[in-house]
Structure 1
């Protein structure tokens, strides 16, 4: 028996569901409605279109075989009717109709449905500050605005830009302006760090330092208060609480909010933050209405709480789940970990699961293993350091998250993706230690970096390793009198250690090369707590084990060592 399916929204989840439905039920009538004229595009690719990595906006709307996904494509190739420039006004759940309006003619009509899907996406949040309506102020809400931004830059109308918001989109836009176009760019973030809630502070700091090294001015703990007019009607500068920044173009990238007004007006359940509530079949509180994509509330697999994860990858998977269930093929969407990855110039940063800070807020007995190994075999020519942090619960030994920062290559995505799969299944520290990863020297070490992080976590859980948290160590470096009995024991080559001994004095920074500890340990003071320092951490751990065996000296290991410190931009680091 044929059914009428109406899908509101035609960017990611909607088109995926529509095409899947026509493959499962080719006799059904599927109609997509969208208020835009451009549909089914890769919104996550917008910064790369602005930067020039994607040369033309049509590439964001094209299939892998280079056919643009417009209304004609869906009708002739997929059998799906698409109504563009058509706004959905209201849902009548009793009559099972959707009132729609043609935005060009103003004509309204009711579309009947047997089953309805809401794929209304999310809208960017606009700061309610003076000057937000000036020309030259943009949000990244659709492809039209991206086209206009790139047009202005290409025409030479933009020499200075301010990006408000240090999330992924804001950082990607700042890179796009700086890297290809040479625009003088400033990035503002209200929170104390970039990528708030996505990574812990030291990972955000490493990213910030790389952006600064590449010419982006970054100000955290600071946001725009007023946008000031320059030429008549045109933005000319941005005033914060600390400075005034000249700007020909301003991008607001301060997050998005689910578009759930239709759902709320129809009496469907909506989470406090605005996401449409769905079950694991992605049904709303009305069994005949499904929802997917950036408009819904998802369940976090570790906390069990509602969360908002606006990603095109998730939207596509959710669209398939909706189609399967509509067609009578039971399928479940269990939830998300919030896996995330992005590039910034030559660096890559990624995470999955909970940060250490978030895990502790959620009540876990959380700790972390911070490591800094090579991203492939140490003898391979282009090996580079990757910083990994495994977050775990000490009581249950369950892994709660993984964060990574390193070169822009495949080493980070491979580890974070593997971690996401294992965390979703309840993986423990021991499971991560035994995780089988493909090995060859161009791709990894014989002891894979994710296994090595698990070994550190295991040692911490079993109290074989005592570490000093990075934040506490950095605080001590700012005020060494705060811990008067502490001193660094630098285990690196004397040439590496000597500048620090000269700078801080031998009483605070003691040099004793790793290979000489067994012969010269008697020179160490029993009245000090030594912070063991090497490049990555393994040598420090071995020395701690040896000194514990003797029982004469108290030590703490700085996990990650100088490989982490060198990436933080601290003023005492000697390059």
Structure 2
């Protein structure tokens, strides 16, 4: 059997390795138009920064390695020009010699990856405008940073790559401005969590511009000024375009391979396309959501490796199948980690769920053992209690918690199940009630026990609309006098029982404290004394103040 794989990064090389493990007799050939294979694309920003010293750390394998270890023939700088499915023949060009030849296959794997979105911007082709997709791109940006002595850079886009580049260029002493077309940075997050990311960028000296876009890059022969739609001008010694990627599907499309609604190659759970003996995997192929069952395009190295392994197994007679993804992601930005999995609040509402939302602000471990605060936003289905999605920001412990949530959501956990998890505890690692468990308690209280939450956005909407609502600040007077929710009255928790007769049991009432715990205690007192419509402010005043700075 002759297996040909087009593409040699995460998915393609994983498919080759698994196919060889299953079948020692197959002839396996891999073509890639690039000079490098099997590299760590997610590590490229740190190579441009100060964390990775040499490119060999990110490109540890070459063609010789794959021949020696896996008996796989890898040809770099070879581009597949055409697929002829009926005759099972490929047309290939050697990009070094320009020779064109044909190759026959029995099984074909399309792993052509993704490519950077190139916006139509005047001046976008100037020599100091860069995209970061492969090692050669990183080499060029790094050379610019090390040899041109730049003082300023503009990053267009605030996704994973954009914000990782903001950190790494800042580490090089470069003044960074981030321009985002959407209403907030990191559009994959809900706005009430993205505000924590934006504030952290500002704390680190990064200029953040949202609700704006680049219309022109000025300067000759290189960019020296970035012109925004708003009319704002930003001086820049170079520009990083990080506005996203799209699947590299032109070759597949010309061959009659069907695309899905996301624009990526449509595959089934066996990674098969609509054409017999042609498979697709990695960033060129569609995934599907475990939450909705709908097609999902989320190009990540972790998913690409998984898809590649399944493909390699399938083409050699195995039974592995793709089970879908939650769209989990995590990235580091200076000393903040940002993790997300499942559905955001916005996505869940769009899918028709009646959602319950909580903001849990807790340290990752006890403060006496250097614990630092995390903000966990969890979204659950009010009708079933199932956890739908989680977003976390914090300085430490984020990776551990997001993976616990991922596992729980994957196996259909309800909010109440989170409290019952037997998680590891010792002061160097966690609090006695881990933040994951506490999140489950808050959600379960809201879903099943009548301790309903109100988000900062909902409170602000009521205030804006002039609705009749009693807002009770249950903190000590000193904290109230320093700052409080507009229109709130100060009744410290220990005084609430004494004030019951002065309060209207029928009026919508919102209680709050700093982070939510004392607010919940005040809420309990009122509910237990017959108050009908009592809400606790989700995340307390800390979360409210963060999200009311507009």
TM class by smaller structure? over 0.9
Question: 1: CA distance between counterparts of 2:322 and 2:417?
Answer: 24
Q: Gaps spanning 5+ residues in structure 2: where?
A: none
- Name which of 364, 370, 373 aligns with 1:385: 373
Structure 1 stretch displaced more, 560-569 or 34-43: 560-569
For residue 430 of structure 2, give the secondary structure of its aligned residue in structure 1.
coil
Note if contact 2:193-2:377 (Cα within 8 Å) is conserved in structure 1: no
The answer to whether 1:36 aligns with 2:24 is no
Paired residue for 2:94?
102
- Name which of 439, 455, 461 aligns with 2:441: 455
User: How far does residue 440 in structure 1 lie from its aligned partner after superposition?
Assistant: 1.6
1:101-500 aligned within 5 A:
101-178=93-170, 180-196=171-187, 198-228=188-218, 230=219, 232-242=220-230, 243-377=232-366, 379-407=367-395, 409=396, 411-462=397-448, 464-475=450-461, 480=463, 482-483=465-466, 485-500=468-483
Question: 2: CA distance between counterparts of 1:355 and 1:164?
Answer: 24
Note if contact 2:18-2:309 (Cα within 8 Å) is conserved in structure 1: yes
Note if contact 2:358-2:453 (Cα within 8 Å) is conserved in structure 1: no
User: How far does residue 531 in structure 1 lie from its aligned partner after superposition?
Assistant: 2.9
Question: 2: CA distance between counterparts of 1:418 and 1:495?
Answer: 38
For residue 171 of structure 1, give the secondary structure of its aligned residue in structure 2.
helix
Note if contact 1:385-1:563 (Cα within 8 Å) is conserved in structure 2: no
Q: Deviations over 1:271-321 (max 9, x none)?
A: 143211111111111231111100001111111111111111111111111
* Length, aligned pairs only: 549
Note if contact 2:510-2:537 (Cα within 8 Å) is conserved in structure 1: yes
Q: Deviations over 1:315-361 (max 9, x none)?
A: 11111111111121211111111001111111111111000110110
Question: 1: CA distance between counterparts of 2:329 and 2:46?
Answer: 17
Paired residue for 1:4?
2
**Cα 1:211/1:559, change in 2 over 3 Å:** same
Q: Gaps spanning 5+ residues in structure 1: where?
A: 63-68
Note if contact 1:500-1:509 (Cα within 8 Å) is conserved in structure 2: no
Paired residue for 1:65?
none
Question: 2: CA distance between counterparts of 1:156 and 1:70?
Answer: 30
TM value normalised by structure 1: 0.91
For residue 541 of structure 1, give the secondary structure of its aligned residue in structure 2.
helix
- Name which of 42, 49, 52 aligns with 1:51: 49
TM value normalised by structure 2: 0.95
Paired residue for 1:20?
18
**Cα 1:53/1:475, change in 2 over 3 Å:** farther
Question: 1: CA distance between counterparts of 2:302 and 2:154?
Answer: 29
For residue 239 of structure 1, give the secondary structure of its aligned residue in structure 2.
strand
